[in-house]
């Protein structure tokens, strides 16, 4: 707990950057290298805290996605595996994460995690003969099961709505994610065979869906990317219920599964040179009304929050790939602590955008708020934040980001991001330590 609190105040990939004093650094290395405390024990508290925060909601969004950590191993003697292409020769660890979001998209934590090392050889032949649990797709299944279990233990009244990208378009995932009355939305990655009413007639998924009438329209805020312009996309929404004709390639057995299909297609707002947005979503959520359809579209748009989490974890906020620990076990423990820190940074960022008028004390201690005001306003801090008043979380988040180098929407193109927040939190921690010493 102390390591997590310290990492939240001074996030960094290297342990020595987070723990400046000798005793704290020695204690941190002692826990990370200890065989008496496993990675699962470190993660258990992270998952349970996430589930407890989820208990107040009737349902939560659960985006699931995998990534890889490219870690330092110059001698090739650490117990890491291959990441990226085999020809590249990079070493590190693979991980599958399940993130939990409130119904309005605010991060609540991490509910499950699965780590593994990829062998230093090419993919084995005859993969179709392996059961799903022995393929890398089996890690998706395990993370979904872990999430259901931790929710059952700590938030039994909360339903999960799993959000999976095209990598999750496989029949084992669709069957697993929908168990125990949970929901799923999976973006279709295959033009699957569809069983039509009236016997053995079959067609293709995309052929059937595109013929459906437009049920409703909506707009979606599209963020800018290297090959994409920011815009408000105008979307047409089609929907129907279809019976997919699945094939188990291992046993050659075919079996049907009824799913609801929601397709959104951009019309009239696609910039020149770009492809329009087209999502074909498979879900077990109801599609009877316009409200249901818009909920499916909105829910899948939340899936990108886990990619933002991975960028915050690996990039400018926590820089987890800069760690230089000597074993996979130690690396996983430290990376798990840092991803909890990354979730907190993403949570502060989203709260400031989605619920800007919440009191800052929901996420910051009174001493942290005082330190932020002093760093941002100096001698006029008491005038800006008088004794007995509590600023909003939007105000404090903006001040922290400005301390970290944020210069405003006009120059950056958007509200404060994870990197400037992480930089600001480091300076705030130093000021908090000074205030604590002065108080003593």
Cα first-last separation, the chain: 23
To the nearest 10°, report the CA torsion of 337, 339, 343, 346.
Answer: 130
pLDDT value at residue 81? 83
Residues 382-413 pLDDT 10s: 888 888 889 999 999 999 999 999 988 765 56
pLDDT value at residue 127? 60
Residues 228-274 pLDDT 10s: 888 999 999 999 999 988 888 777 788 888 999 999 999 999 998 89
Q: Phi and psi for 118 in degrees, rounded to 5?
A: -80, 135
- Residue written as token pair 């696609």: 270
Instruction: Retrieve residue 97's tokens.
Output: 């994460």
pLDDT-based confidence at 87, cuts 50/70/90?
low
Name the average pLDDT for the chain: 89
Give the distance from CA 47 to its chain's centroid: 13
pLDDT value at residue 334? 95
pLDDT value at residue 133? 62
pLDDT value at residue 72? 82
Q: Return d(Cα 258, Cα 242) in angstroms, integer.
A: 6
Higher pLDDT, 217 or 412: 217
Nearest to 98 by CA among 3, 168, 16: 168
Q: Return d(Cα 293, Cα 60) in angstroms, integer.
A: 17
DSSP run (H or E) holding 146: helix 137-154
Nearest to 209 by CA among 242, 184, 236, 185: 242
Residues 335-345 pLDDT 10s: 999 999 999 99
Q: Return d(Cα 413, Cα 436) in angstroms, integer.
A: 37
Signed CA dihedral, 26, 27, 31, 34: sign only = positive
3-state SS assignment for residue 297 = helix
Residues 125-137 pLDDT 10s: 566 666 666 667 7
Residues 33-55 pLDDT 10s: 999 999 999 999 999 999 999 99
Crossing angle (nearest 10°) for helices 418-439 and 393-403: 90
Radius of gyration over alpha carbons of the chain, in Å?
24
Crossing angle (nearest 10°) for helices 418-439 and 366-377: 110
Q: Over 80: is that where the pLDDT of 173 sits?
A: yes
Q: What is the mean pLDDT of residues 83-112?
A: 88
The answer to whether the beta carbons of residues 105 and 221 sit under 8 Å apart is no
Instruction: Retrieve residue 181's tokens.
Output: 């009355």
Residues 145-160 pLDDT 10s: 999 999 999 999 999 9
- Strands 183-187 vs 253-266: parallel, antiparallel or unpaired: unpaired
3-state SS assignment for residue 293 = helix
Q: Over 90: is that where the pLDDT of 100 sits?
A: yes
Distant-in-sequence contacts of 284-289, Cβ < 8 A, 24+ apart: 284/178, 284/183, 284/184, 284/259, 284/260, 285/161, 285/183, 285/185, 285/260, 286/260, 287/239, 287/240, 287/241, 287/260, 287/262
pLDDT value at residue 222? 87
pLDDT value at residue 120? 67
CA angle at residue 198 from 197 to 203, to 5 degrees? 55
Instruction: Retrieve residue 251's tokens.
Output: 């046993």
pLDDT value at residue 333? 95
Set out the domains of the chain in order of their start, with CATH numbers: 1-165+303-339 (no CATH), 183-301 (3.90.350.10), 356-439 (no CATH)
The answer to whether the beta carbons of residues 345 and 319 sit under 8 Å apart is no
3-state SS assignment for residue 38 = coil
Please tell me the least confidently modeled range out of 53-62, 79-88, 281-290, 295-304. Answer: 79-88
pLDDT value at residue 1? 85
Q: Give this prediction's pTM.
A: 0.89
pLDDT-based confidence at 79, cuts 50/70/90?
confident
Share of the chain above pLDDT 70, in %: 93
pLDDT value at residue 412? 57
pLDDT value at residue 21? 85
Q: Over 90: is that where the pLDDT of 296 sits?
A: yes
pLDDT-based confidence at 2, cuts 50/70/90?
confident
pLDDT-based confidence at 95, cuts 50/70/90?
very high
């Amino acid at each position: 707990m102390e390591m997590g609190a310290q990492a939240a105040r001074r996030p960094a990939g290297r342990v020595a950057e987070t723990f400046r004093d000798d005793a704290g650094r020695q204690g941190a290395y002692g826990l990370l290298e200890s065989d008496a405390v496993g990675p699962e024990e470190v993660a258990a508290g992270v998952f349970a805290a996430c589930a407890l925060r989820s208990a107040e909601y009737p349902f939560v969004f659960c985006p699931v996605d995998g990534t890889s950590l490219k870690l330092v191993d110059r001698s090739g003697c650490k117990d890491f595996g291959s990441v990226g292409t085999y020809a590249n020769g990079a070493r590190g660890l693979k991980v599958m994460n399940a993130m939990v979001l409130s119904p309005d998209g605010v991060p609540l934590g991490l509910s499950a995690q699965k780590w593994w090392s990829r062998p230093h050889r090419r993919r084995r032949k005859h993969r179709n003969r392996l059961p799903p649990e022995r393929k890398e797709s089996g890690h998706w299944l395990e993370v979904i099961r872990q999430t259901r279990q931790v929710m059952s233990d700590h938030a039994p009244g909360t339903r999960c709505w799993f959000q999976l990208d095209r990598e999750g378009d496989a029949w084992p995932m669709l069957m697993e994610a929908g168990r125990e009355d949970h929901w799923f939305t999976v973006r279709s990655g295959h033009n699957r065979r569809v069983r039509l009413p009236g016997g053995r007639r079959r067609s293709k998924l995309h052929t059937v869906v595109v013929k459906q009438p437009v049920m409703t329209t909506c707009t979606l805020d599209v963020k800018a990317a290297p090959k994409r312009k920011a815009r408000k996309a105008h979307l047409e929404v089609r929907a129907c219920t279809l019976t997919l004709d699945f094939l188990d390639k291992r046993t050659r057995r075919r079996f049907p599964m009824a799913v609801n299909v929601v397709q959104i297609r951009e019309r009239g707002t696609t910039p020149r040179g770009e492809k329009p947005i087209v999502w074909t979503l498979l879900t077990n959520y109801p599609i009877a009304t316009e409200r249901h359809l818009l909920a499916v579209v909105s829910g899948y748009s939340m899936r990108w929050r886990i990619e933002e989490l991975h960028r915050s974890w690996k990039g400018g906020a926590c820089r987890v790939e800069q760690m230089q620990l000597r074993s996979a076990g130690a690396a996983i423990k430290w990376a798990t602590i840092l991803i909890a820190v990354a979730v907190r940074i993403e949570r502060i960022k989203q709260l400031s955008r989605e619920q800007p008028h919440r009191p800052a004390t929901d996420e910051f201690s009174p001493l942290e708020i005082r330190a932020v005001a002093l760093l941002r306003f100096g001698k006029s801090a008491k005038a800006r934040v008088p004794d007995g008043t509590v600023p909003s979380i939007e105000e404090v988040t903006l001040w922290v980001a400005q301390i970290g180098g944020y210069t405003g929407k006009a120059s950056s193109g958007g509200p404060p991001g994870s990197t400037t927040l992480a930089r600001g939190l480091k300076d705030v921690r130093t000021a908090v330590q000074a205030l604590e010493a002065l108080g003593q």
